[in-house]
Amino acid sequence: MKNTIRQVFRSSQFLTGFIIISIMLLLLIFYPLINPGNPLEMIGYNSFIKPGTYVSVYDSLDTADVYTLTLEAADENRVVSKLLIEDREAMRAWFLSYMEQEGDVGYTEDDIDIDNADVLLDLWWENYDPAIRIEGMTISDRRFYQRLDEKLDGLFDLDDVHVYAVDQETGEYEFNKAVSGTDYVNLNDVANVRHLALGTDNFGRDMFKQMVAAMGTSLQIGVIAGSIATMIGLVLGLLAGYIGGIVDSFIMFFCNLFTVIPGFVLLILISYSIGQGARSATNVAIVIGITEWVWTTRSVRSQVLSLRNRDHVNLSKLSGHTLPRIMVADILPYILSYVVMAFILQISTAILSEAGLSMLGLGPKTTEVPTLGLMMSWAMKYSAHLHGAWWAYYPVVVVIALISFAMNLMNTGLDQVFNPQLRS
């Protein structure tokens, strides 16, 4: 046994998959201790808040210690942050229209780099004049560019910001403090700071916290469904392969029946029939498990057919051993490695099946626990891709792919260890 385990962990493919799954399990154990609470709690009132560290503006104004720092390029960074992508594209449109009308204007289309704020602003100061009239440009467009020019002038207005507070007795606004461009506060001194590694989803929920919980739920569904499918397939495969005759024909009839009917279609019909209220994560796992046993049954049956006439099995028959004892003691040990590999693949298949069901709106109840499939469904339903909210779906896709990839790596590594043809 020790030698077998040693050989398994010497397989680079199994070890890689095992490390990936282990990291995920460690994350499931320790992250809730660091960031406890309900993963479905709505912490934001905005949809698809982008990833980053968020500081309370209210608390930062009341921070006792304010430090004066003169950082290089601080003013330029402020200008770049205020120059929105919409403004940059509008400036580019004006440059192209002006170049088309005037011909040689001292710059080419390649010089208009909307990603370089300094170059873009220099071109604007050198070429834009409110008095210029471009053919085909409406009055509203000209006024838009005039307002844009005034806005660009205001980007360099770095006067102090005055903060006023309401006097509790008179109800009038009184000067409280002035904040200059060189004032800084220490992040550790601010009372309320929240780091959102993956931002929020459309409901304003912490995506990373939700994804960790969803990863645990999906793995739980995979283990339950994989255990049920593997157990059903193992029992039926042993009976069909060893007993044969009418028992084999009866079991294979149902295998052929389930093969003709696409498993995922059957899964959809059963999930729809039990209703949204009864679709807990456990119930969905059970439904997946009772529809994914067919290929395991066929595979176990083929293995047992090659073992049932071996000498040790015949000897056990002559010794008067019972049918369960022969199957468990004389046949099962020889196919146990294959059963473990089938179980690993069933887990991966179950997680992908749950994701497919959830994308169709037939997954677990949305008010109970998140799953990776539900997160994908929410991202698609609320058009995360149209809002540019990549963090709402890309990480989920990567996690699903990693789980499937790790499971397949572990299965391939086990196959290399236990399959004599591959081992040789």
pLDDT recorded at residue 152:
79
Beta bridge partners of 68: 183
Residue with tokens 């099995």: 313
Q: Are residues 89 and 12 in the same domain?
A: no
Q: Are residues 394 and 314 in the same domain?
A: yes
4: enclosing H helix or E strand: helix 2-10
Q: 149-163, 183-197, 343-357 — which is least confidently predicted?
A: 149-163
pLDDT recorded at residue 16:
92
d(CA 258, CA 216): 30
Q: Are residues 88 and 37 in the same domain?
A: no
d(CA 159, CA 75): 12
Average pLDDT for 272-291: 84
Under 8 Å between Cβ of 232 and 289:
yes
Q: Are residues 134 and 233 in the same domain?
A: no
pLDDT recorded at residue 361:
82
pLDDT in tens, 304-319: 888 888 888 788 878 8
Q: Does residue 138 sit within a domain?
A: yes
Average pLDDT for 334-349: 89
Q: Does residue 79 sit within a domain?
A: no
Q: Is the dihedral of CA 397, 398, 403, 409 positive or negative?
A: positive
CATH of the domain at 329: 1.10.3720.10
Answer whether residue 338 shows pLDDT above 80: yes
Q: Does residue 12 sit within a domain?
A: yes
With the CA atoms of 253, 256, 257 and 258 taken in that order, what torsion angle do they form, in degrees rounded to the nearest 10? 130
pLDDT recorded at residue 424:
52
Last residue of a domain, one of 96, 125, 154: 154
Question: Could you give phi then psi for residue 134, rounded to 5 degrees?
Answer: -100, 130
Query: pLDDT band at residue 344, thresholds of 50, 70 and 90?
Result: very high
Query: pLDDT band at residue 211, thresholds of 50, 70 and 90?
Result: very high
pLDDT recorded at residue 402:
94
Q: Are residues 27 and 113 in the same domain?
A: no
Q: Does residue 122 sit within a domain?
A: yes
Q: Does residue 217 sit within a domain?
A: yes
Closest CA to 20 of 348, 373, 391, 296: 348
Q: 71-80, 236-245, 264-273, 386-395 — which is least confidently predicted?
A: 71-80
Q: Does residue 342 sit within a domain?
A: yes
Q: Are residues 278 and 418 in the same domain?
A: yes
DSSP state of 392: G
Answer whether residue 105 shows pLDDT above 80: no
Q: Are residues 231 and 105 in the same domain?
A: no
pLDDT recorded at residue 236:
92
Q: Are residues 289 and 361 in the same domain?
A: yes
Answer whether residue 124 shows pLDDT above 70: yes
Last residue of a domain, one of 154, 169, 192: 154
Query: H helices then E strands: how many in the chain?
Result: 18, 6
Average pLDDT for 23-44: 91
pLDDT in tens, 365-419: 767 788 999 999 889 888 888 888 999 999 999 999 999 999 999 988 888 887 6
Q: Are residues 216 and 93 in the same domain?
A: no
Closest CA to 394 of 264, 244, 225, 207: 207
pLDDT recorded at residue 231:
94
Q: Does residue 112 sit within a domain?
A: yes
Which comes out higher in pLDDT, residue 345 or 318? 345
pLDDT recorded at residue 226:
94
pLDDT recorded at residue 87:
86
Answer whether residue 322 shows pLDDT above 90: no
Average pLDDT for 19-41: 92
Q: Are residues 318 and 390 in the same domain?
A: yes
Structural domain count of the chain: 2
Domain range spanning residue 114? 84-154
Q: 175-184, 216-225, 379-388 — which is least confidently predicted?
A: 175-184
Q: Are residues 150 and 209 in the same domain?
A: no
Last residue of a domain, one of 92, 125, 154: 154
pLDDT recorded at residue 420:
61
Q: Are residues 125 and 9 in the same domain?
A: no
SS3 content of the chain, % helix, strand, coil (to 5): 65, 5, 30
pLDDT recorded at residue 25:
94
- Average pLDDT over the chain reads 86
Q: Does residue 176 sit within a domain?
A: no
Answer whether residue 79 shows pLDDT above 80: no
pLDDT recorded at residue 422:
56
Percentage with pLDDT > 90 across the chain:
25
